[in-house]
Amino acid sequence: MALIKTQTAQPVAEEERKQSRDCANLIVALEDDNPTVRRWAARDLTDFPTASAALVNRLQREEDVSVREIILTTLTSLGDEVAVAGLVDCLRSEGVSLRNEAIEAMKQLPDEVAPIMQGLLADANPDVRIFAVNILESLRHPEVESWLVTVIDNDPHLNVCATAVDLLGEVGSSAAREALLRLKARYADEPYIQFATDLAIKRITEG
């Protein structure tokens, strides 16, 4: 007996997408109870540069990982000042996942993040300064080494300096050697700093 294929109903998301997809309606859809609807709205808002504020607002409250992923992708695509400022705010979040996701998003925006990097590296919160160093890892900006040298010369927090030293060992040149020696002398009683500075100096010397 041949099987008769029954016609299935269209998913809710497809029905929702048949509605008006102007910016105002998409922003309303960002608050829908259905995460699938929110996901489609976040994706479609890529076409609306003025949507960054609404996306940032939703991002800070969004609990569904897949929706956050699309919001971050759209914010990265928009890449305006509001989007970048929103990502910076996420660095101060209590949510570890959101912080890490924001760091990864900011790594995709080297030209947009570079102008604010010095401010991030001087932030009053040492955790934000550590996150900023982590972002530098992928920033591919000509001032990365200079910024890292400034960090190890001036930052009063051991963990911030340690994070910067680790990265200098990967991206630094002989220009960073003297700063590394100064840090080594400043933290003469800290075994990790001694190890990390020696390793960084070895790498940049051999490189």
At residue 21 the predicted structure's pLDDT band, cuts being 50, 70 and 90, is confident
**Does the pLDDT value for residue 91 go beyond 50?**
yes
My answer on whether 99 and 185 are in the same domain is: no
Spatial CB neighbours of 116, under 8 Å, sequence gap ≥ 6:
84, 88
CA distance 63 to 150: 37
pLDDT at position 5: 39
Condensed to tens digits (0 to 9), the pLDDT of residues 112-146 reads: 999 999 999 999 999 999 999 999 988 888 899 99
CA distance 73 to 75: 6
Condensed to tens digits (0 to 9), the pLDDT of residues 130-186 reads: 999 999 988 888 899 999 999 999 999 999 999 999 999 999 999 999 999 999 999
Instruction: Examine residue 170 and state whether it is found in any structural domain, yes or no.
Output: yes
Last residue within a domain, chosen from 92, 108, 124 = 108
Last residue within a domain, chosen from 108, 124, 156 = 108
My answer on whether 20 and 91 are in the same domain is: yes
**Does the pLDDT value for residue 18 go beyond 90?**
no
**Does the pLDDT value for residue 17 go beyond 60?**
no
**Does the pLDDT value for residue 53 go beyond 90?**
yes
At residue 206 the predicted structure's pLDDT band, cuts being 50, 70 and 90, is confident
Instruction: Examine residue 120 and state whether it is found in any structural domain, yes or no.
Output: yes
CA distance 130 to 9: 50
**Does the pLDDT value for residue 75 go beyond 60?**
yes
Instruction: Examine residue 162 and state whether it is found in any structural domain, yes or no.
Output: yes
Instruction: Examine residue 201 and state whether it is found in any structural domain, yes or no.
Output: yes
Which domain range does residue 29 map to? 12-108
What domain count does the chain have? 2
Please give the backbone phi and psi of residue 4, each rounded to the nearest 5 degrees, phi first. -100, 120
pLDDT at position 2: 42
My answer on whether 21 and 81 are in the same domain is: yes
Instruction: Examine residue 6 and state whether it is found in any structural domain, yes or no.
Output: no
Please state at what angle helix 158-171 crosses helix 126-136, rounded to 10 degrees.
10
